[in-house]
Copies of this chain bind each other. A is one copy, B any other.
Amino acid sequence: MQYYEDIEVGDTAEFGEYHVTKEEIVDFAERYDPQPFHTDEEAAEDSAFGELVASGWHTASMCMRMLVDGPLQERAGMGARGVDELRWKQPVRPGDTLSIRSEVIDKRVSESDPKRGYVDSFLEGRTQDGDVVISWIGLGMIERRNPGEE
């Protein structure tokens, strides 16, 4: 299990392999983001996108799945404080395969709770062609192995 002390600023990782299907794009969007360019292939052709594309929240959710199946498995995580600078950079299309690159950009011990470490990471979701489709800064919390030490 990975604790706060095991993580260093500058650590990078690449992980995940998420195959995006038309059915899943439409399924998510019908429930959470029913705009025509997410739910209707023909209407999407007449939209600014020119084709069916995934909801931005769907893209974020698919990335979450890769995090849960990936690095979070091994981590003494305590949940997330939030997300900064979430950006949708390019559309995600049916047939894309997504993966993630992450880099730790900051770490510090919580001032209010010495058992708790804060770890901030910059994350990018990419297609099989290396195009960045989404990026964000994840504000994570992780247990300290040795809360008594500085």
Contact = CB atoms under 8 A, between A and B. Distances in A.
Oligomer copy total: 2
A62 interface: yes
Nearest to A77: B35
Interface string A75-90: 0001111111111100
Contact of A55 (B35, B64, B81): B64
B82 A88 contact: yes
- Chain A interface mostly helix, strand, loop or mixed? mixed
Given A31-B65, A62-B32, A64-B32, A86 B78 contact: no
Contacts of A60: 57, 60
B85 A48 contact: no
Nearest to A83: B86
22 contacts: A28-B61, A31-B65, A32-B62, A32-B65, A33-B61, A33-B64, A33-B68, A35-B68, A55-B61, A56-B80, A57-B64, A58-B61, A60-B60, A61-B61, A80-B88, A82-B85, A82-B86, A82-B87, A82-B88, A83-B86, A84-B84, A84-B86
Given A31-B65, A48-B79, A80-B88, 7 more contacts: A28-B61, A33-B65, A35-B68, A48-B78, A55-B61, A60-B60, A82-B85
